[in-house]
Amino acid sequence: MANESKFTPDWTEKPPAKNSYRSVFKWGSPSEFKHPSNEWYHMLKEEFGLTDKNFKKPQFEGNEKVSLDQKITLSPKTIKGFEEIVGKKNTAVDDYSRVRYSHGKTVDEAIDLRHRIIRHAPDLVLHPKNKKDVQKIVALCHDQKIPLYVYGGGSSVTWGLSTPQGGVMLVMSTHMNKLLSINELNQTAVVQPGMLGPAYEQALNDAPKLYNTTHAYTCGHFPQSFEYSSVGGWVVTLGSGQASTYYGDAYDIVFSQEYVTPAGSFKTLEYPGTATGPKLNDIMKGSEGAFGVLVEVTMKIFRHMPGNRQRFAYMFPSWRNAVNASREMIQSEFGKPAVFRISDAEETEVGLKLFGIHGTPVDTVVTLRGYKPMKRCLCMGTCEGEKGYAKHVKEQIAKVCKKYGAMSLTGFTAGLWEKTRFKEPYMREDLMDYGIIIDTVESGVTWDNLQRLHEGVRKYIKSRPQTICMTHASHFYPQGTNLYFIFIMKMVDLKEYRKFHDGIIEAILKNGGSISHHHGVGKLFSKFMDGHLGQEQMTVLRALKRHFDPHNIMCPGGHLGLDL
């Protein structure tokens, strides 16, 4: 290879400067990093026709201090009113707070911020201490028709946190971030919505010590954003964790919710099953803050039995075989794996490079046994639950894999993936520093439409020269799965990028996928909602919106496509 030099880019290991643009768009912990492997570096150069020279100097790093030239339009008296509710130290009007708490992790936002572009900001950032604060804030905003937005963990990739109409931003993760109680009999936990994944999971794991429970527990929900997403965010944006095939999506693991809306406050019924009309608990899920503020949520929890975890990995000869085997597994009723993923041919190659397996003796053996590059497909996962159950599921998976010509790679590969599974988002900053975009879209799809969606969306993405497109399926249901498309390309301007991205969504729609499997809608997909759901169904959501929020103060400006 022409690119086999010894040069490695000087990937940043520096935390972003204080109050800088970079500190807003950088993923995760300021001092944590995950750099592309050497194999990846070579791949990027080759794919994009770049040389080491292109990786000598990072660009648009965004280390400048945030400055904002948008005036605060709320009157000092109004601001004072909010201050009286939450206290002075929980009220912020500084530029940095206004920018930080109105941006998530959408690629568009990172491109903007690297160029010091701030499209919108709230007038005021509030850190409510409790439900009462939220009730007073919502009432005040409703009375005075002040837009009100909600910020959880900040990991939205759908412009979910942007504030096109200014007003007030409510930050739930500052104070409302505690596990309030565990009900061991019912296997439920009462959680404040601003609690982030790791703190929640740790508290559940440590429940015997902290809450005097008999068993240790797990939340069962581990999205890639786990470390920087909030429990409330999981619920209101309909997230899916990496082990959702076993534990269910966020939708499935919510027992009840408590909301503050302009039309009043309520807590949904707390029954494991009930036949008393349409369920408010479900009507509110996925409302993304547009109906009101989630102030408390009771989640279903699960026994924490990490010792029972079984890992597996297989190489399939083809994507078709991997898909057919997956379908057979999930429909056979022998139980369900927890994590389960199949990568298409391109992702398999890129993945082998990412994990450092590419070019090793393992790779050689796999290739020699007939699993050809750009045909073979990687599958990996875990089985959880009671020991015998996990073992049985793993054995049955092995049988189906064998039937479809797959070769076992042992659980070691799955172990590698597990170790770094929350770290991949960190690579985004490294790549963008050198003018490369990595982004993802994901779509829910039935089995009968999976191949068409895969081919159709890949065809669109690959029709653009010099674009890497990796695809995997990672959330399995008897009726179908999701396709998660990761694409990598050289930097383009935001307008061009948006056009390309919209084209992907159009390709998804044309080929029968849903416009989002687990990232939500936010404002990014708003314009597609009417077409996707149809007028009759959108008017139902709008009727609910009018009921809960007659003055349209809750996250106005395109959220969920409700007020377009």
> Could you identify the residue written with the tokens 């604060």?
133
Q: Residue length, the chain? A: 564
Among residues 10, 143, 282, 493, the one that binds its own copies under rule CB under 8 A: 282
Q: Judging by beta carbons within 10 Å of its beta carbon (0-12, 13-18, 19+), is residue 73 exposed, middle or buried?
A: exposed
**How many residues of this chain interact with its own copies, rule: CB under 8 A?**
93
- Regarding 389 and contact with its own copies (CB under 8 A), the answer is yes
- Using CA of residue 356, residue 359, residue 363, residue 365, what is the dihedral sign? negative
- Regarding 144 and contact with its own copies (CB under 8 A), the answer is no
317 in Cβ contact with 472 (< 8 Å):
no
- Regarding 39 and contact with its own copies (CB under 8 A), the answer is no
- Regarding 367 and contact with its own copies (CB under 8 A), the answer is no
Nearest to 379 by CA among 439, 328, 440, 422: 328
Structure tokens at 452: 């068409």
- Part of the chain binding its own copies (CB under 8 A), chosen from 37-45, 51-59, 170-178, 234-242: 234-242
Per-residue binding string, its own copies, 499-518, x by CB under 8 A, is --------------xxxxxx
Among residues 276, 306, 368, 495, the one that binds its own copies under rule CB under 8 A: 276
- Using CA of residue 239, residue 243, residue 249, residue 254, what is the dihedral sign? negative
- Between residues 23 and 257, which has the closer beta carbon with respect to its own copies? 257
Question: Helix axis angle, 319-331 relative to 450-463, nearest 10°?
Answer: 140
Backbone angles phi, psi at 496, to 5 degrees: -65, -40
* CB 131 to its own copies: min, Å: 14
- Part of the chain binding its own copies (CB under 8 A), chosen from 26-34, 325-333, 411-419, 428-436: 325-333
**CA–CA distance, 115 with 201 (Å, rounded to integer):** 37
Among residues 519, 524, 549, 552, the one that binds its own copies under rule CB under 8 A: 519
- Regarding 304 and contact with its own copies (CB under 8 A), the answer is no
Among residues 344, 384, 433, 439, the one that binds its own copies under rule CB under 8 A: 384
Among residues 76, 198, 359, 478, the one that binds its own copies under rule CB under 8 A: 478
**CA–CA distance, 405 with 317 (Å, rounded to integer):** 7
- Regarding 467 and contact with its own copies (CB under 8 A), the answer is no
Structure tokens at 88: 């002075």
- Regarding 388 and contact with its own copies (CB under 8 A), the answer is yes
107 in Cβ contact with 491 (< 8 Å):
no
- Part of the chain binding its own copies (CB under 8 A), chosen from 5-13, 274-282, 412-420, 422-430: 274-282
Residue 330, Cβ neighbours under 10 Å: how many? 21
- Regarding 214 and contact with its own copies (CB under 8 A), the answer is no
**CA–CA distance, 357 with 363 (Å, rounded to integer):** 6
**CA–CA distance, 49 with 35 (Å, rounded to integer):** 20
* CB 133 to its own copies: min, Å: 19
- Regarding 286 and contact with its own copies (CB under 8 A), the answer is yes
- Regarding 335 and contact with its own copies (CB under 8 A), the answer is yes
Q: What does DSSP assign to residue 253?
A: G
- Regarding 485 and contact with its own copies (CB under 8 A), the answer is no
- Regarding 439 and contact with its own copies (CB under 8 A), the answer is no
Among residues 20, 163, 188, 310, the one that binds its own copies under rule CB under 8 A: 188
- Regarding 532 and contact with its own copies (CB under 8 A), the answer is yes
- Regarding 446 and contact with its own copies (CB under 8 A), the answer is yes
Which residues 6+ apart lie within 8 Å of 439 measured at CB? 107, 486, 487, 501
- Regarding 4 and contact with its own copies (CB under 8 A), the answer is no
